[in-house]
Amino acid sequence: MVRDLDGEEKAGRDYLEEFVSSLHIVHSPLVDPIDQLIELVRFEIIQREEEGYDMDGAREAFISLARERSYSRILEFCNSLNSYPMRRGFAYAEPVDYGSIVSESSGGYSFFSVELPDNALYDRIYGGWLGRCIGCMLGKPVEGFTREMIRVWLEQAGEHIPSDYFPDIEIDSSKIPKWLLMRLEDLRRQYREKGYGVLRGQVDRVVRDDDIDYTILNLHTAKTYGHRFTTMDVARTWLHMLPYCQVYTAERMAYRNLVNGVKPPRTAEYMNPFREWIGAQIRADLWGYIAPGLPRTAAELAYRDASLSHTKNGVYGEMLVSAMISAAFATTDVYDIVRIGLSVIPQRSRLAEAVRDVVSWSKESRDYWETFKRIVEKYGHYNPIHTIVNAAIVVASLLHGDGDFEKSIALAVLSGFDTDCNGATVGSIVGVMIGADNLPRKWAIQLNDRVESYVTGYGDVRISELARQTVQLAKEVLRNTSFKPQEM
Q: Please state which of the four CATH numbers 1.10.4080.10, 3.90.650.10, 3.40.50.1860, 3.30.70.20 is assigned to the domain occupying 98-141+207-479.
A: 1.10.4080.10
pTM of the model: 0.94
Q: Please give the pLDDT value at position 9.
A: 46
> Greatest CA span in the chain, whole angstroms?
66
The C-alpha atoms of residue 396 and residue 456 are separated, in whole angstroms, by 35
Return the pLDDT at 80. Answer: 95
Residue 71: what residue type? Y
**Whole-angstrom distance, CA of residue 212 vs CA of residue 456:** 13
CA distance 312 to 31: 30
**Domain limits, the chain:** 9-50+53-83, 98-141+207-479
Burial 72-106 (b: 16+ CB within 10 A, else e): eebeebbeebeebeeeeeeebebbeeeeebbebbe
pLDDT of residue 10: 53
What is the full per-residue pLDDT of the chain (488 aa) written as tens digits?
A: 333 444 444 555 555 566 566 677 778 777 889 999 999 999 999 999 999 999 988 988 999 999 999 999 999 999 999 999 999 999 999 999 999 999 999 887 777 778 889 999 999 999 999 999 999 999 999 999 999 999 999 999 999 999 899 999 987 778 889 999 999 999 999 999 999 999 999 999 999 999 999 999 999 999 999 999 999 999 999 999 999 988 999 999 999 999 999 999 999 999 999 999 999 999 999 999 999 999 999 999 999 999 999 999 999 999 999 999 999 999 999 999 999 999 999 999 999 999 999 999 999 999 999 999 999 999 999 999 999 999 999 999 999 999 999 999 999 999 999 999 999 999 999 999 999 999 999 999 999 999 999 999 999 999 999 999 999 999 999 998 765 555 54
